[in-house]
């Protein structure tokens, strides 16, 4: 490894996602888990060219879709993993980037049934402030205390054109699409208002507090605001355009969860729509590197964990 400021291997691989220049495309579809990434790589029209799994298990599949180079990558869960993914992809990709996240979410809106899709037009981050939990108190917090303990950022906006393309492509499949404000929370539990007997989160009434204080609050998940935040502060000469679509998995008002089969069907529908949106997005200055890149090499190349036969990995994509 070299360079303590931005560590990378002698070969130029980044420390965490473990990719080097030429192995990722300017158009990126990011997902939370490996089965979703593999199911997207199997969608009609996607031709996988290069499959990579990092020691820390981030996995990327770079290929061609409707003539465009697209990388499907697992950004796993939470702010930190999205941070590694976007910053290290940025390092190995030249020129502008378009990134779409397809994830799942909870919704507080009784009018949004599980299985509907939410493409927010605003995002906010929520962080639990540890300084508000240092005493022995276990009584529910007042509205003022909730506002101090679960700190909500100001709104951030995705790329309006990419979000609009995403909505149009999803609507064309017959799915209902909602917009509103998406909260990316530091926890699946405390800051999303899930009640625990094991920890003094003191978060009774937190979802109602968000509903009272955040206009058009439509969904809660754990990464999208950070993606949008990184995109808005990307270097001006190498812009990042970002948007996100979320499958309503948890209906928080009625306490209903989407079934696994319905979830996987929704993933395939939204994944195809996201590929179509990414392929249609205008991205001037895109650099498909056919010299060091993977797009012109015949067949599928693969870098996986040491003790795995690439043939077994590729079978997953058949
Ligand atoms: C929590 O179960 C995970 O689900 C949501 C949250 O953002 C978090 O990552 O998204 P994914 O379905 O993309 O993982
Ligand atoms: N992902 C989340 O972060 N929250 C939910 O309620 C469902 C999926």
Residue 263 pLDDT level (bands cut at 50, 70, 90): very high
Centre of ligand 1 to C-alpha 4, Å, is 31
137 close to 200: Cβ distance less than 8 angstroms: yes
Which pLDDT tens digit goes with each residue over 1-19?
A: 999 999 999 999 999 999 9
**Residues 51-80: b if buried by 16+ CB within 10 A, e if exposed:** bbbbeeebbbbbbbbeebbbbbbbbbebbe
Centre of ligand 2 to C-alpha 251, Å, is 10
Average pLDDT over the chain reads: 95
Token output for 303: 């870098």
Centre of ligand 2 to C-alpha 177, Å, is 17
pTM, to two decimals: 0.96
Ligand 1: which atom is nearest the Cα of residue 221?
A: 7
HSE of 214 in the Cβ direction (CA atoms, 13 Å)?
A: 30
> From residue 32, how far is each of 78, 85, 86, 149, 289 by CA, in Å?
9, 11, 13, 27, 27
Average pLDDT over residues 235-241: 97
Pocket of ligand 2 (CB under 6 A): 104-106, 188, 192, 220-222, 249-250
Task: Say which ligand is closest to the CA of 106.
Answer: 2
Centre of ligand 1 to C-alpha 58, Å, is 15
Which pLDDT tens digit goes with each residue over 24-56?
A: 999 999 999 999 999 999 999 999 999 999 999
């Amino acid at each position: 490894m070299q360079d303590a400021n931005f560590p990378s291997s002698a070969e130029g691989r980044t420390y965490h996602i473990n990719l080097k220049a030429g192995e990722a495309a300017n158009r990126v579809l990011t997902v939370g888990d490996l089965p979703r990434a593999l199911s997207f790589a199997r969608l009609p029209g996607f031709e996988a060219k290069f499959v990579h799994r990092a020691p820390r298990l981030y996995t990327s599949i770079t290929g061609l879709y409707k003539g465009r180079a697209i990388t499907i990558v697992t950004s796993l869960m939470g702010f930190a993993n999205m941070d590694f993914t976007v910053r290290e992809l940025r390092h190995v990709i030249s020129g502008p980037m378009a990134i779409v996240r397809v994830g799942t979410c909870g919704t507080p809106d009784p009018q949004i049934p599980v299985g509907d899709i939410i493409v927010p037009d605003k995002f906010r981050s929520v962080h639990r402030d540890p300084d508000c939990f240092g005493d022995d108190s276990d009584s529910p917090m007042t509205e003022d205390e909730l506002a101090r303990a679960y700190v909500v950022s100001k709104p951030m906006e995705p790329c309006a054109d990419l979000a609009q393309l995403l909505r149009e492509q999803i609507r064309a499949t017959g799915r209902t699409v909602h917009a509103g404000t998406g909260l990316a929370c530091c926890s699946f539990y405390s800051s999303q208002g899930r009640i625990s007997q094991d920890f003094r989160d003191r978060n009774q009434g937190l979802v109602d507090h968000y509903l009272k204080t955040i206009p058009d609050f439509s969904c809660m998940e754990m990464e999208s605001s950070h993606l949008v935040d990184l995109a808005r502060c990307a270097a001006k000469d190498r812009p990042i355009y970002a948007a996100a679509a979320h499958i309503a998995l948890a209906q928080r008002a009625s306490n209903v969860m989407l079934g696994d089969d319905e979830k996987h069907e929704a993933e395939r529908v939204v994944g195809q729509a996201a590929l179509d949106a990414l392929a249609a997005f205008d991205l001037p200055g895109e650099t498909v590197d056919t010299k060091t890149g993977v797009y012109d090499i015949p067949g599928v190349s693969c870098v996986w964990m040491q003790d795995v036969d690439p043939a077994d990995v590729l079978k997953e994509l058949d």
